[in-house]
Structure 1
């Protein structure tokens, strides 16, 4: 094997290895950003919004019942339309949250417990209505219902470690779901390492070596251009920055979705928030699909390198006599 042929074989192997390294690093980094877009839209957002809607509806249901029973309209209106509507909304939201919770088995068990407690809470409100003419009993039942709903101090505080009232249980479930959402939408250290170290290192090494190889071939073979290597260089220089931009845009929309789902009182308008999140995530659909382009691009890059160098290697093929 001549010196030139040996050099070209080694350069070919190095470029093929770098092509594989660029492809692997880029695929890992891009997939790491885009992998959770569907989960955020189809799983986390609905689960979080259903729990938030249940919290707001239950809180409002007590206020509606109290107004009806202490405002002098209980005999005419009963417990009132506001109470019945909000309690029905809460039960529907809990049923959906039970199906869609993303916080695992413990959260599902907590929601089952909450569903039973809500039934008991409704019974206490009903007893307050039955005893509406006896202020002492009415207020006692209302107090029991409020304690079951909001805790011993009757406040609407959501974070009370150790409390077992309905809203505290829902807050704990929501906390788990929001922590999962943070994991799904966080860029994280591994992705930072991939995008700021691994991808640039492999990308620059491959680009520099492709350019140097073309300069060597032009000098050694007296040909101005090597079309295949020129296309390979253009593919590399175009693809990596393009995918980096798409990855940034996907991450930006994930961050916007997280911000929307962490807004206070999202349970007041869950449909609006869900539409906003779905719209943002829909914008990532084709960007997420770009992950399939990366292996194909890697194969194309390697093929172009092979097509560009193999004929030059063959020119120095050694034949034994």
Structure 2
């Protein structure tokens, strides 16, 4: 082997190693390029070097990963393909979220995750604005889902609500009856939040998102208030084409009250804090999320 070929092979191996290293950074969901110089440099290399970017995607494909996005704010955001060792399966989610995770609870967790995403990014523009930061709370998400339940109950007026919906019913309609029947709050003997209550389920679902680098806890008010991360924005963009997500937004339960991205849940009665009349965009009362 000539010296030139040896150098080329060494350069190729080094590039592959760096591509794998970049992916390893992306698999640490709470790490962002701003906090690690090596990570930042590799992200910049990906963005400016098309060959390195293609190599990184090829390495990801071989590992069963899909690169959803790469930016200096979010870093590299990989996701596991359906049959990948990196895909989060129901059992993995159950272990992260805690609780018994019977079939009914799994459905409620899915609804909670869907509601968090819809509240965090209620407008299509929010998903493409890199400067947008959503804020969501446990009580706000619970209020949002319960208002959704009320609207779906109106839609189903005249049906027998004591039986399960047909298999071909819209996805949300298959879940709202379970949520509406579940207690919103409750505490254990040692004053911990009851895990089977809807606020308990929402809180656990949001804690999973914290562990995944999608949300950051910013306060304990309203059962726990969180802000979104750039990584979550990327992942919700992928979710936005989901039929259940579109159906949830189409109900019109959320409304944006100002240009700063403040999101409120529109409900019939105040659930958290009454908003001043001048800030309420509709005839109904708005509760801060």
State the TM-score, normalized to the length of structure 2: 0.29
| Bigger relative contact order (CA 8 A; separation at least 6) | 1
Structure with greater helix percent? 1
* TM-score, normalised by the number of residues in structure 1: 0.26
Q: Which has the larger radius of gyration?
A: 1
